[in-house]
């Protein structure tokens, strides 16, 4: 497949996934449980595709070690993100069913307490995601600062978001900042991704088509 077309497809899917994430964050549109799970579990695989595309775009950078670190941190981060979602939904769906089917009020209260305890498991995985995600944003943004196709504004915004996200998560650990009545930086990092994707699309419009490999 033509490499430029593949990059365009990745960009379109990337934007869709970002808006799906933002929808989940603010709760604008509600879907059935099956659709919600499909959309939520699709976030990490699509973002990982985007990360590889971004790495390819920045591969000629002079900061190759920093680029590799940023790429690896983001890949680890979104692996944790998928793990967090799977564990979270497995806990919530199962415990909600157990509580709903338990006729004894005392036992229901015990199950609710167990749910609160189990919830800390997925919250811990969420913090692991945020640590690698924050560091990945910072390192990738350092590379973007010196890349002629992006520049200082991309770098400064990403470094600021990544740094604040890391600091706030460590400060409120093991509770996420949003649950500790602290400013949640997470949704603002989505702006960084939208900005990156939009800039990538703009750059591809000015480049010639990539050569398509042909079979011998």
pLDDT tens by residue, 123-138: 899 999 999 999 999 9
- What distance in Å separates the CA atoms of residue 30 and residue 36, rounded to the nearest whole number? 8
Give SS3 for 78.
Answer: helix
Backbone angles phi, psi at 104, to 5 degrees: -90, 125
Cβ neighbours around 62 below 10 Å, total? 10
- What distance in Å separates the CA atoms of residue 42 and residue 47, rounded to the nearest whole number? 9
Domain boundaries, the chain: 3-205
Radius of gyration for the alpha carbons in the chain, expressed in angstroms and rounded:
20
Res. 202 pLDDT band, cuts 50 70 90:
confident
Q: What is the pTM of this model?
A: 0.81
pLDDT tens by residue, 57-95: 888 777 788 999 999 999 999 999 999 999 988 999 888
């Amino acid at each position: 497949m033509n490499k430029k077309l593949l990059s365009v497809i990745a960009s379109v899917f990337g934007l869709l996934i970002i808006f799906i994430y933002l929808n989940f964050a603010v709760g604008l549109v509600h879907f059935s449980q099956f659709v919600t799970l499909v959309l939520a579990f699709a976030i990490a695989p699509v973002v990982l595709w985007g990360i590889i595309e971004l790495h390819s775009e920045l591969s000629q950078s002079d900061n190759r070690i920093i680029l590799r670190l940023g790429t690896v941190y983001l890949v680890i981060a979104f692996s944790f993100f998928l793990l967090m979602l799977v564990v979270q939904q497995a806990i919530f769906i199962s415990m909600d069913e157990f509580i709903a089917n338990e006729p004894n009020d005392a036992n229901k209260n015990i199950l609710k307490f167990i749910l609160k305890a189990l919830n800390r498991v997925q919250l811990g995985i969420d913090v692991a995601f945020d640590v690698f995600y924050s560091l990945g944003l910072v390192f990738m943004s350092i590379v973007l600062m010196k890349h002629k196709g992006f520049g200082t504004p991309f770098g400064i915004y990403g470094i600021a978001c990544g740094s604040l996200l890391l600091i706030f998560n460590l400060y409120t650990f093991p509770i996420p900042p949003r649950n500790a009545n602290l400013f949640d930086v997470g949704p603002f990092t989505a702006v960084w991704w939208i900005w990156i994707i939009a800039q990538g699309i703009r750059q591809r419009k000015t480049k010639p088509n990539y050569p398509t490999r042909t079979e011998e």
